[in-house]
């Protein structure tokens, strides 16, 4: 099996599983507690059906949309995800280049293994940065200012990781960053010599954007979970978000909003977008899926901010359903990380090509020429 | 597999299964008929989703709740369950001590294997006595008086065991109290020699609240279903409950109330709490799950007595959902019984600690710092 054989999510996932040591694969693949929310994020799309209109003379549909003040060529982009060097030696550079090629957003995590400045050199395509508020405010300020200088288009503040989720697969596999050889994991690393070679032969693993500010997570063997619990500020509140918006002064999203009340508050403090997300089912298990909640939020604030659905997307039809229910764009993390693990930049490009083809084909089958032709009347819910 | 590998309910269950002779494991693990209610008790939680609120400043979380006039540090407690020394030789001693460590309530069953007097000398945190209404009125009076003398805080009258449930696993395995070696069970007892050694050497198996009055359960082997069917008074009615309530004179609850009408009558006869419960799915299969029924009952009587949701809890988020609907506290038996069987007091402490840290984490992720912050606004049914 190689990257050209990957036709869908499951194929990328299978190929990634072959290439990655088990603790790393399960770090991507897992959710919190019993993983019901993780599953629901995708299953929710099956509770409604698409209703096509025929003989609509669609021609070649226009898939472009505008979020974070920038027009992108397709309504799906790469969610910010931490530590991409674990999945492929090119890490964030591969993702950023692939996104640029498809003219859609690459998103950089605070916990990336590449610097803001390096990515700005690598790609002039659409870029956003995902910010965590650290207990040490100077770290937060420094990140904002550097993104501004590096000309990122947008900033998103993640608010659903106030404490780390209970990811039991990581407890069992002994996942840590940087990866640590434990008795449990030694076989899984030894069975993926190519990964180990790439990991050791390339530049040192570090949390590049924060390495000068904190030793944690770089020199010390520390799990992401510990990093989150030690560095992020659990006292974070709306004033902090407002402060970041002012300091940034460009298009801004809060990532991890689920309640209508919070969506309204986000509008009030000046957000230009919200990302409806439960962090890929990795935080609060039992919480609502983005698709289940999107219509409510869109009804409340859809005319005031851009709504981005993040979570559960595996197919072009999922994107179509999300847009019909009120999203302006979608983003995905797991799907793209599997493609990155499976084939680096080429893998991500293949995934984005698949998605573009699916979205385009499905638009034609739906009889829609523009994304705005997708509205709630095109969905029928089964219950 | 050892205790430190137990991260959740199903891990404890697996470890318990390894440690216990199979009739005993299946006595805990099984339920009535086809076990549909038993499964529903947990799956009901998946019909509703949590909707968090963000950016609320949640550095510290207070999980305390007050039921029956007692402040507990946790919004859940250990339901009374029978025969605990069959599961681990420390039995109720282990569970009571663990509950004390977390300052939560411990329920002691009339079918307990350690006496109320001993429990009372071991722990000074809130205690509940679970009462079964026997035909033998002398036994009933004795239970009530001993619990009162031992300074128990709450009396809970069990109302859903008027006859024994059809626990088919027990019929197949031949589970009885005290355990009896049958041809069918011989092999499973023989393969768990540690359990056998502990059972025989760590003190005699007794039912201290009952054995002066009835032989069944101690010197005469009986199944629990059979015990309920033959020893308990099936003519028990609301008058009996009201009399017991005034005879006890303190906090009094009915355990096993499911209908709104009964919940209202519980208020009328002077109860200060009810456990919405179907006895862990072990009695009437096909009956409604506590979580499915909770909102109606809270709406009807939630301002007049403490409504406790009992059954099905395997996760902190399950408790969060019940508390959001309006339960004052959550309770469960299997919640800690597998952990007891897996590793005694250390096991129960680890389980309670895990639920506690799950609740703390989940409260933060919900944007809540105290139990009263939870409301139905946090929930959406699918």
CA gap B293, B263 in Å, rounded = 11
Is the N-terminal amide bond of B49 cis, ω within 30° of 0? no
H/E run at residue B306: strand B306-310
Average pLDDT over residues B166-195: 87
Query: How close, in Å, is residue A267 to chain B by CA atoms?
Result: 14
Contacts of A293 in chain B (CB under 8 A): 51, 380
Q: Write out pLDDT tens, residues B53-80.
A: 999 999 999 999 999 999 999 999 999 9
Q: Write out pLDDT tens, residues A100-110.
A: 999 999 999 99
B57 close to A (CB below 8 A): yes
Catalytic residues of B: 279
DSSP string of B73-118, one letter each residue: SSSEEE---S-GGGTSTTHHHHHHHHHHHTT--EEEETT-SS-HHH
Note the helical H segments in A180-220: 186-190, 193-201
CA gap B336, B314 in Å, rounded = 10
**Biggest alpha carbon distance in chain A?**
62
Chain A, nearest residue to B321 by Cα: A286
Instruction: Report CB contact under 8 Å: A292, B53.
Output: no
CA gap B312, A109 in Å, rounded = 39
Q: Does the pLDDT of residue B166 top 50, yes or no?
A: yes
Which residues on adjacent β-strands are paired with residue A253? A156, A273
Chain A, nearest residue to B57 by Cα: A235
Q: What is the 3-state secondary structure (H, E, C) of A335-360?
A: HHHHHHHHHHHHHHHHHHHHHHHHHH
Q: Write out pLDDT tens, residues B236-285.
A: 999 999 999 999 999 999 999 999 999 999 999 999 999 999 999 999 99
Instruction: Report CB contact under 8 Å: B8, A238.
Output: no
B53 close to A (CB below 8 A): yes
- Exposure letters B89-118 (e unless 16+ CB within 10 A, then b): bbbbbbbbbbbbbbebbbbbbbbbbbbbeb
- Parse chain B into domains and list their residue ranges: 3-381
Distances (CA, A) of B246 to B70, B141, B251, B272: 20, 13, 10, 12
Q: Give which of B61, B68, B64, B154 is closest to B104, Cα–Cα.
A: B64
| CB within 8 Å of A164: residues ≥ 6 apart | A224, A225, A226, A228, A229, A283, B361
- Helical packing angle, B22-29 and B183-190, nearest 10°: 100
- Parse chain A into domains and list their residue ranges: 3-381
H/E run at residue B39: helix B36-43
| Residues of A at the B interface, defined by Cβ within 8 angstroms | 33-34, 36-37, 40, 159-160, 162-166, 168, 171-172, 234-238, 240-241, 254, 256-259, 261-262, 265, 283-289, 292-293
Distances (CA, A) of A237 to A6, A242, B367: 43, 9, 10
ipTM beyond 0.90?
no
Which of B47, B55, B356, B380 to probe by mutation at the A interface, max A CB count within 10 Å?
A: B55
Average pLDDT over residues B18-40: 96
In chain A the first and final C-alpha atoms are separated, in Å, by 40
Q: Map residue A72 onto helix, strand or coil.
A: strand
Is the N-terminal amide bond of B178 cis, ω within 30° of 0? yes
Out of B142-151, B209-218, B251-260, pick the least confident: B209-218
Total CB pairs under 8 A between chain A and B: 98
CA gap A12, A336 in Å, rounded = 9
Q: Which fold has domain A3-381?
A: TIM Barrel (3.20.20)
- Exposure letters A260-296 (e unless 16+ CB within 10 A, then b): bebbebbbebebbbbbbbbbbbbbbbbbbbbbbbbbb
Query: How close, in Å, is residue B56 to chain A by CA atoms?
Result: 5
Contacts of B313 in chain A (CB under 8 A): none
Q: Does the pLDDT of residue B371 top 90, yes or no?
A: yes
Q: Map residue B273 onto helix, strand or coil.
A: strand
Report which of residues B100 and A222 the model is more confident about: B100
Average pLDDT over residues B215-244: 92
Percent of chain B, pLDDT > 70? 100
Which residues on adjacent β-strands are paired with residue A308? A275, A329
Q: Write out pLDDT tens, residues B105-134.
A: 999 999 999 999 999 999 999 999 999 999
Instruction: Report CB contact under 8 Å: A237, B56.
Output: yes
> Pairing between strand A379-381 and A48-50?
antiparallel
> Pairing between strand A127-131 and B48-50?
unpaired
CATH dotted code for B3-381:
3.20.20.70
Query: What pLDDT, on a 0 to 100 scale, did the predictor assign at position A220?
Result: 43
Instruction: Report CB contact under 8 Å: B49, A254.
Output: no
Contacts of B56 in chain A (CB under 8 A): 237
Token output for B369? 């710092």
Instruction: Report CB contact under 8 Å: B364, A286.
Output: no
Q: Write out pLDDT tens, residues B282-322.
A: 999 999 999 999 999 999 999 999 999 999 999 999 999 99
Name the residue facing A288 among B45, B51, B318 (closest C-beta).
Answer: B51
Mean pLDDT rounded to a whole number for chain B = 96
Sole residue written with tokens 């900033």: A155
Token output for B159? 């109302």
Going residue by residue through chain A (383 aa), what tens digit of pLDDT does each one get? 899 999 999 999 999 999 999 999 999 999 999 999 999 999 999 999 999 999 998 999 999 999 999 999 999 999 999 999 999 999 999 999 999 999 999 999 999 999 999 999 999 999 999 999 988 999 999 999 999 999 999 999 999 998 889 999 988 888 877 777 677 778 888 889 898 888 888 888 888 888 776 655 444 445 666 777 788 888 899 999 999 999 999 999 999 999 999 999 999 999 999 999 999 999 999 999 999 999 999 999 999 999 999 999 999 999 999 999 999 999 999 999 999 999 999 999 999 999 999 999 999 999 999 999 999 999 999 97
B353 close to A (CB below 8 A): no
Token output for A178? 């940087």
- Helical packing angle, A238-248 and A137-149, nearest 10°: 30
| CB within 8 Å of A310: residues ≥ 6 apart | A79, A255, A275, A276, A277, A280, A290, A330, A331, A332, A333
Query: What pLDDT, on a 0 to 100 scale, did the predictor assign at position A200?
Result: 86
Backbone angles phi, psi at A32, to 5 degrees: -95, 160
Q: Give which of B50, B382, B40, B381 is closest to A382, Cα–Cα.
A: B382
Average pLDDT over residues B194-207: 91
Chain B, nearest residue to A174 by Cα: B5
Contacts of A164 in chain B (CB under 8 A): 361
Query: What pLDDT, on a 0 to 100 scale, did the predictor assign at position A217?
Result: 46
pTM: predicted TM-score of the whole model, two decimal places? 0.92
Q: Write out pLDDT tens, residues A198-254.
A: 888 888 888 888 877 665 544 444 566 677 778 888 889 999 999 999 999 999 999
Query: How close, in Å, is residue A286 to chain B by CA atoms?
Result: 6
Contact A234, B369 (CB under 8 A): no
Average pLDDT over residues B174-181: 87
CA gap B350, B7 in Å, rounded = 9
């Amino acid at each position: 099996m190689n990257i050209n054989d990957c036709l869908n999510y499951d194929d990328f996932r299978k190929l990634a599983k072959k290439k990655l040591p088990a603790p790393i694969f399960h770090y991507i693949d897992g959710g919190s507690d019993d993983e019901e929310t993780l599953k629901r994020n995708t299953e929710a799309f099956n509770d409604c059906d698409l209703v096509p209109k025929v003989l609509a003379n669609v021609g070649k549909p226009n898939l472009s949309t505008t979020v974070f003040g920038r027009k992108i060529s397709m309504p799906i982009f790469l969610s910010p995800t931490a530590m991409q060097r674990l999945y492929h030696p090119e890490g964030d550079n591969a993702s950023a280049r692939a996104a640029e090629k498809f003219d859609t957003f690459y998103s950089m995590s605070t916990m990336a293994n590449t610097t803001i400045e390096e990515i700005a050199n690598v790609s002039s395509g659409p870029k956003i940065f995902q910010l965590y508020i650290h207990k040490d405010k100077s770290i937060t300020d420094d990140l904002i200012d550097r993104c501004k200088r590096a000309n990122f288009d947008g900033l998103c503040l993640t608010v659903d990781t106030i404490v780390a989720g209970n990811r039991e697969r990581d407890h069992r596999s002994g996942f840590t960053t940087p990866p640590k050889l434990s008795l449990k994991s030694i076989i899984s690393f030894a069975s993926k010599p190519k990964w180990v070679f790439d990991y050791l032969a390339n530049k040192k693993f570090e949390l590049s954007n924060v390495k000068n500010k904190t030793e944690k997570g770089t020199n010390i063997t520390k799990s992401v979970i510990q990093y989150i619990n030690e560095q992020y500020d659990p006292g974070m509140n709306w004033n902090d978000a407002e402060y970041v918006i002012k300091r940034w002064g460009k298009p801004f999203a809060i990532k991890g909003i689920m309640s209508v009340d919070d969506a309204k508050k986000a509008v009030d403090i000046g957000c230009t977008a919200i990302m409806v997300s439960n962090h890929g089912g990795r935080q609060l298990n039992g919480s609502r899926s983005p698709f289940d909640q999107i219509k409510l939020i869109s009804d409340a604030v859809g005319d005031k901010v851009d709504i981005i659905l993040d979570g559960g997307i595996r197919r072009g039809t999922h994107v179509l359903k999300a847009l019909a229910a009120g999203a302006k764009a979608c983003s995905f993390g797991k799907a793209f990380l599997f493609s990155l693990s499976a084939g680096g930049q080429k893998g991500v490009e293949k995934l984005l090509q698949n998605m573009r083809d699916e979205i385009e084909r499905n638009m034609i089958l739906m009889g829609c020429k523009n994304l705005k032709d997708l509205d709630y009347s095109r969905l029928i819910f089964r219950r | 597999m050892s205790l430190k590998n137990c991260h959740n309910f199903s891990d404890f269950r697996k470890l318990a299964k390894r440690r216990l002779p199979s009739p005993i494991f299946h006595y805990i693990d099984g339920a009535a008929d086809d076990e549909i209610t038993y499964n529903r008790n947990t799956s009901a939680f998946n019909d509703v989703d949590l909707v968090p609120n963000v950016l609320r400043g949640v550095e510290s979380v207070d999980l305390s709740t007050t039921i029956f006039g007692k402040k507990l540090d946790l919004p859940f407690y250990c339901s009374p369950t029978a025969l605990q020394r069959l599961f681990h030789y420390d039995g109720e001693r282990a569970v009571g001590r663990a509950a004390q460590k977390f300052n939560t309530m411990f329920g002691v069953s009339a079918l307990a294997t350690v006496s109320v007097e001993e429990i009372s000398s071991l722990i000074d945190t809130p205690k509940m006595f679970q009462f079964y209404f026997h035909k033998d009125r002398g036994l009933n009076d004795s239970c009530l008086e001993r619990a009162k003398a031992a300074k128990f805080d709450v009396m809970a009258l069990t109302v859903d065991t008027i006859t024994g449930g059809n626990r088919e696993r027990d019929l197949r395995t031949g589970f009885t109290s005290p355990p009896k070696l049958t041809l069918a069970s011989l092999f499973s007892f023989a393969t768990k020699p540690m359990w056998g050694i502990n059972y025989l050497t760590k003190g005699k198996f007794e039912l201290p609240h009952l054995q002066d009055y009835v032989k069944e359960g101690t010197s005469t082997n009986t199944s629990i279903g059979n015990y309920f069917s033959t020893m308990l008074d099936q003519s028990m009615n609301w008058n009996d409950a009201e009399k017991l309530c005034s005879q006890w004179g303190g906090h009094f609850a009915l355990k096993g109330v499911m209908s709104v009408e009964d919940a209202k009558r519980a208020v009328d006869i002077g109860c200060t709490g009810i456990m919405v419960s179907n006895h862990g799915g072990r009695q009437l299969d096909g009956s409604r799950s506590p979580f499915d029924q909770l909102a109606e009952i809270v709406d009807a009587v939630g301002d007049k007595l403490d409504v406790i949701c009992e059954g099905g809890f395997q996760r902190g988020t399950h408790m969060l959902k019940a508390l959001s609907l309006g339960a004052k506290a959550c309770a469960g038996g299997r919640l800690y019984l597998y952990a007891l069987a897996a590793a005694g007091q250390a096991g129960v402490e680890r389980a309670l600690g895990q639920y506690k840290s799950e609740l703390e984490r989940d409260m933060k992720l919900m944007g809540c710092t105290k139990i009263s912050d939870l409301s139905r606004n946090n929930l959406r049914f699918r």
